[in-house]
Amino acid sequence: MRFLPWAVCLLSLLAGPALAAGGLEVWPAQAEQGQPLLVKACPGQPAPGAEISLEGRRAPLAPAPGGCLVGAVGVDLDEPTGPALLEIRQGERVLLSRRLTIKARGYGTRQITVDGKFMELKPEDLARHQEETAKQKAVYASRLPSMLWSGPWQTPLDSAVVGVFGRRSLVNGQPRSPHGGVDLRGGVGTPVKAPAVGRVALVLDTYFSGLLVLIDHGLGVVSGYRHLSRAMVEQGRVVQPGQVIGLVGASGRVTGPHLHFDVRLAGARVDPLAWILASRQLDRWAR
């Protein structure tokens, strides 16, 4: 895979030292809003069912060499800044812990103009949106205990970023939620590929996101692909890296064709491009 321009500045993060004390490593050393955190825990004893816990958000851990455990948890875009407690828990028992400080990270703002029907929803459209949101939340709440993928992730579309992660949106002049993914350039019909092994958890035509596919990769990691013109997979099917899962489109609330790609870690919205790079570090720990 060739490196995209966004990767050049982020690659330096991989050289940063991990924190290590008491059998617990956290990477990267700095916890920031909208960024992934990787954990390698070596509790020194068997710990089946152990989980990462960060401020009430939990994710399973996978076995790694030497009796250690590895996994990931996200710092959400809107996570409060300040002191936070990261724990490795087995049920209600705390095996290891680390105090962190969550830092703010600015992503800027953007202004977009869309069809007015997406601003003031009719009662039936609002009811539809709420039902669609509930289905997606159910997927994000899933915690498959196994790590379905192995190796570093790939990009689903090898193209330029046209909408960066985390930007606060002014839609038709009104403030909206920050951008929970990245927009990748692509014409209608461009193939979208699975970045890693996972199980298709949801295929749904939605009001705002258009036709979407959600893939559950295990350990609380879920990737999303939105505004598709066509889905090429069915719910419940396992997909392989590089498999075409859909085609770029312009469905839902968009200003033009593109792929919206997002990743959630234990429900937290994180920069999917930062996660792709983080997956390399996780792969090193898991080997």
Is the Cβ–Cβ distance between 28 and 13 less than 8 Å? yes
- Give CA separation, 241 vs 92, 148, 191, in Å: 36, 11, 13
Of 151, 145, 161, 175, the residue nearest 3 (C-alpha): 161
Per-residue exposure over 74-111, b if at least 16 CB sit within 10 Å of its own CB, e if not:
bbbbebeeeebebbbbbeeeebbebebebeebebeeee
CA–CA separation, 185 and 114 (whole Å)? 18
DSSP for 168-191, please give it: EEEETTEEEEE--SEEEE--TT-E
Question: What pLDDT does 107 receive?
Answer: 86
Element counts in the chain: helices (H) and strands (E): 3, 23
**Predicted local confidence at residue 3, as pLDDT:** 39
User: Coil, strand or helix: which one is 139?
Assistant: helix
**Do 62 and 221 meet the contact criterion of CB atoms below 8 Å apart?**
no
Around 277, how many Cα atoms within 13 Å sit in the side-chain half-sphere? 22
Partners of residue 168 on adjacent β-strands = 109, 178
Query: Would you call 161 exposed, middle or buried from its count of C-beta atoms within 10 A (0-12, 13-18, 19+)?
Result: middle
Supply the pLDDT for residue 78: 92
- Give CA angle at 144 (140, 149), nearest 5°: 100
CA atoms within 13 A on the CB side of 231: 23
Task: Give the strand pairing for 109-112 and 168-171.
Answer: parallel
Entry field: residues in the chain: 287
The first and second tokens of residue 272, run together, are 């999917």
Contacts (Cβ under 8 Å, ≥6 apart) of 141: 267
pLDDT at 14: 40
Reported pTM: 0.88
Domains located in the chain, CATH noted: 5-106 (2.60.40.1930), 109-277 (2.70.70.10)
pLDDT tens by residue, the chain, 287 residues = 433 444 434 433 443 333 333 499 999 999 999 999 999 999 998 899 999 999 889 999 999 999 999 999 999 999 999 999 999 999 999 999 999 999 999 887 766 666 656 657 789 989 999 999 999 999 999 889 999 999 999 999 999 999 999 987 766 666 667 889 999 999 999 999 999 999 999 999 999 999 999 999 999 999 999 999 999 999 999 999 999 999 999 999 888 999 999 999 999 999 999 999 999 999 999 98
